[in-house]
Each structure stands twice: as C-alpha cells, then as structure tokens.
Amino acid sequence: MIVVLAELDFAPADAQQAAAALARLAQDTRREPGCLEYAIALDLDEPGRLRLSELWSDRAALDAHFKTAHMADFRARVAPLRRLRTSARVVEATKISDLFAPAPNGGD
C-alpha cells in the first residue's frame, strides 16, 4: 500500500478556490481503481494550507491517478492561483491496523 501525505500552501485569499478544486478532484479520485482513501483538510494553524492524505493499493494505481483527465482538470483550475509551496511524501506501508481496536479479551 502507498500512503501520500501532502501539503499545498496557497495565498490565503486563494485557499477557498483551491479547496473547491480539490473537492471536485476528490470526488472523481475516490472512484479510481486502487484508491482506498482520499481526504482533504484545511489546516487550522496555517492560513492557506490544504492537507491531503491518500491511501492507494499500490504505486501503479497512484501513477495512473496522475494521468487522469480529472487530475489535468485540477491542475488547470489551480494554475492561476498563487501556490506558495507544495510538499508531498510517499510512504510504502505493509500493514494497516486499527489503533483503537478492542483487546482480544474485551478489555481496553
């Protein structure tokens, strides 16, 4: 599995427009083969910062995502906006488990 953690910093005046473009992208992305999770959040501490967390079945699915029409549409929508910084990290994960799963004997 592939985990993507990204931050997109836009000028605060452009953040809502960028968030709308990301929300549109997310709708189509979540229907892609191999997309297990795609979440967007506005950072409460950094005006203009949008955070993405993504979970993909494998690298091939993520690579295919970057070639989709909806990704091209997103790029076109945010091109006129003032993007200040982009950071994206990829993590290869071998196992995911529930952090708060109940103990086998029913206790916490």
Res 95: pLDDT: 86
Res 98: pLDDT: 87
The model's pTM? 0.86
3 neighbors 55 (Cβ within 8 angstroms): yes
- Residue 51, exposed/middle/buried by CB under 10 A (0-12, 13-18, 19+)? middle
Residues of the chain with pLDDT under 50: none
* Of the candidates 14, 21, 62, the residue with the CA atom closest to the CA atom of residue 40: 21
**Phi and psi for 91 in degrees, rounded to 5?**
-120, 130
Res 97: pLDDT: 85
List Cβ neighbours of 71 (8 Å cut-off, separation of 6 or more): 25, 29, 65
